[in-house]
Structure 1
């Protein structure tokens, strides 16, 4: 459902205004992206994210971290995207196995206000685990923190920048508790020499990193309210949530060889909330004043939007209630969207039960008509449905492993037609409505 929120056109207006304000104060702007430009917007996916990169050019991005979803496509597509972009794709820890060489620039240098600024790029080493293995046969993702140490040392010895920043796609996890995910920004900051980075501009975990207390983020951050960035080992850590919903603004002063953060703000880009009135009527209202859409950006993007419109707006069904696919739900609890997707997969494959990762569900569907675009937003990856025959022991071993996946992880499972109680690494009361061998032996396959 399009509620007129965020988008590159409003983002350009906002960034242009910030540039003008900063220039009037005698300062300058460096604009960074935490990556994951690919996957999730069907009009863009059908065109290999060309509209996004051309829009980012118009806004004036300076550099981007390579995200894991950049590898949802073959490397050849990513190389084409680099040609479209007028800014560098940065990642110091992605290597070609056969040559031992980095696939992307590890860092970039910028001159701003008489300062020499180095920006390092880093990518989660979970990428090979959560992406398409066909695309990683000759690609290696090394530990980001180890590569960061090497690059920082190299920069300090050879380039001698006044300031070093990092743009990363690794995730922010409270107090470094990353669970089944690879270590993120907090863990890396703690492992580096104190203050060796002025700031980490992060991505991947799709959080508005606004701290409620030391090592604890706000759970339900309200757009437009003050946002305190994280600070670990003398290094600031920020993240502007997801989908271009916010622009994070960090104002630094450089005096006597020291970089000082004087102000930080997470600025909503036309975000709205649903308000329901006493008469039962509801509407979406802005959290903060409306940001006008830039006409030049609208002119650039409209042809791309129209190109995929005919195919994407085809009605394929309807639903009489909300199907819950929000990230904050599908990675923590069972949802009706998960059950619907699994029911469809079971019907297609004639399976007895089904399991899928909650991280594979990317959006909700509102009550009403369902279009092809809605479906593409829910499951944008083009995955292949696979049927596997298993004996009883194999099923128990598999579900035992599945049960260990933690909430708040993309691996958190959604289930259909199977239930069990997991305790101390073992399964109890394993049942399925369809599977006869489980019905006959409800707990007989425990080890």
Structure 2
């Protein structure tokens, strides 16, 4: 009698690493229990114990820290630190995330050429040929006993709503559901895999248990729809939302390992082989491994040490001074009462663009503002995205509509106090989608119904004319309609400033040396 064949498989996922290699919070230079160097220790331990391992990065790996930024701007003649680390850890594949485009296609193409593994995305197409732009959209990996695993890559197709057009030139982003359906059928017929993994740089648009929408159904996140509508998916690896998920949806085992390398996603599977039915899955177990108690891998640390040392030297450069207090003591208060840091960013934007209306956001709650002696560390820690600026032409009505949109950031809690709308916190913090404006004056009355909260909207002491046009400077993400600011999408672009905001801010200090911390109280948030 033939001995029954069995196989155990371990799938490991990283996602949304955002350039985090070392366990450091660059704003303070203090220890932070995260990063790929710590994850590497866990991966290597598993690689020593397990035989059949599939290791995948789910996207957004190459942007997000000063190390990643400094590499692109000043060290890109060397190998990409994230890619060389992936190579060392023997990744099987990586998915292209939305932030992979932030530095332009040449940087992304360089990373792809350096990688010893494929970058997969079935739904990013060449606009002419309609074929996958970055090469084969899937990978077949053969394991013990000839067990065949298919890995299909998908990327949120919402990227054109965020990214600069020149960074995605000649690209077309197909609906993920459409691509998945077509490619899964093709792969199953041609390759006959025993296990089908879809790695999707996108998240869940609905509650995993109830199916109730958890966000406006824009198409940005389609993971729930993939589980419910696309046949043939055994495992769905997700990301983009920075959530911690390990569950099952409609028989599909799903996982999402947060962000910045704080967790490693793991799925353990066990199969037995039947002469009549082939490979049969006996168990699937998803889990999340916390990296907090794990030590950093010394080999990975040493490999990336030159990048880190150069970054730290650059971050410690003093570039200017602040007279007064520009430190953010309370991020919520900085969004409800005008803060000198926000006013400063808006005024820098207005000066370089030569316009008199601007908007910006306090991107995250870890932003600390500027101390008396400003360093590059403070600039890149406060302004964490590689944004450029655009001046677009808006009507007064567009501006009012945008302010009404931004006013949805607030709610009144059970005590009748102003609070943050949960939709801007869960499932993913989106504080960057609350804008504060300069060059106009306005009041947000949170006690009013949504859509009717903007009062006393003025410019130069006169009511803003709804049918008149104005030139407004904002970051390129917002100018493209990012954050569901649909009133901005497709508007006439009057001017583009092709410098990163971090460079613009640094150049401002180089020019003026000393900046006064001040506000003009042109807006307020109240309850009537």
CA–CA separation in structure 2 for the residues paired with 1:122 and 1:366: 37
Residue in structure 2 matched with residue 178 of structure 1 by the alignment:
215
User: What is residue 385 of structure 2 aligned with on the other side?
Assistant: 381
Q: Secondary structure at 1:149's aligned position in 2?
A: helix
The answer to whether the Cα contact below 8 Å between 1:68 and 1:127 also exists between their aligned partners in 2 is yes
Higher-Rg structure is 2
SS class of match (2:53): coil
Counterpart selection for 2:165 from 133, 138, 145: 133
Separation of aligned partners in 1, 2:281 and 2:44? 24
Paired position in structure 2 for 1:19:
47
1:96–1:421: structure 2 CA closer, same or farther, 3 Å change rule? farther
The 8 Å contact of residues 419 and 429 in structure 1, kept in 2 or not, is answered as yes
Does structure 2 conserve the Cα–Cα contact (< 8 Å) formed by 1:39 and 1:380?
Answer: no
Which of 80, 83, 95 is residue 113 of structure 2 equivalent to?
83
The question of 1:207 aligning with 2:243 is answered yes
- Equivalent in the alignment of 1:312: 315
Structure 2 gap ranges (5+) = 1-27, 73-78, 208-212, 274-278, 410-422, 467-528
1:53 alignment counterpart: 83
Residues 370-409 of structure 1 aligned to structure 2 (within 5 Å)? 371-386=375-390, 392-400=396-404, 407-408=424-425, 409=430
Q: Is the 8 A contact 2:317 2:375 kept in 1?
A: yes
Q: Is 1:188 aligned with 2:226? A: yes
TM-score by length of 2: 0.66
For 1:10 and 1:429, the matched residues in 2 are separated by: 47
| 1:106-125 superposed Cα distances (whole Å, 9 cap, x missing partner) | 10111222310010100001
- Aligned-residue CA RMSD in angstroms? 3.3
The equivalent residue for 1:275 is: none
Instruction: Provide structure 1 residue ranges, at least 5 long, that are not aligned to the other structure.
Output: 210-228, 271-288, 442-447
Please state whether the residue corresponding to 1:99 is helix, strand or coil.
Answer: coil
**Cα offset, 1:262, TM superposition:** 4.2
CA distance in 2, matches of 1:337, 1:172: 34
Partner of 1:93: 123
CA offsets 1:322-371 (integer angstroms, 9 cap, x no match): 5667xxx8xxx97489955531233232777643466x559533896753
CA contact (8 A) 1:51 1:301 kept: yes
- Give the Å deviation of 1:166: 1.1
Deviation by residue 1:364-408 (Cα, 9 ceiling, x = unmatched): 338967531332233243323445676644433443455578635
Counterparts of 2:37 and 2:395 in 1: how far apart (Å)?
Answer: 54
Alpha-carbon offset, residue 144 of structure 1: 0.6
The range that moved more, 293-302 or 428-437, is: 428-437
Q: Which residue of 2 aligns with 1:144?
A: 176
Q: 1:393 to 1:31 in 2, by over 3 A?
A: closer
Does residue 119 (structure 1) correspond to residue 151 (structure 2)? The answer is yes
1:101 is displaced (CA, Å) by: 1.8
Partners of 1:396 and 1:352 in 2: CA distance = 16
Secondary structure in 1 aligned to 2:31? Answer: coil
CA 1:40/1:107 → structure 2, altered by over 3 Å: closer, same or farther? same
Query: TM-score with structure 1 length normalisation?
Result: 0.77
CA drift at 1:82: 0.7
Greater RCO, CA 8 A, separation 6+: 2
In the TM superposition, what whole-angstrom CA distance separates every residue of 1:154-208 from its partner, at most 9, and x where no partner exists? 1110000100101111123342533246232112211112xx2121111101111
Q: Number of aligned pairs?
A: 390
The Cα shift of 1:234 comes to 1.1
Q: 1:341 to 1:236 in 2, by over 3 A?
A: farther
Matched, 1:155 2:187: yes
CA gap of 1:4–1:192, structure 2 versus 1, over 3 A, is same
Q: Distance in 1 between matches of 2:379 and 2:364?
A: 10
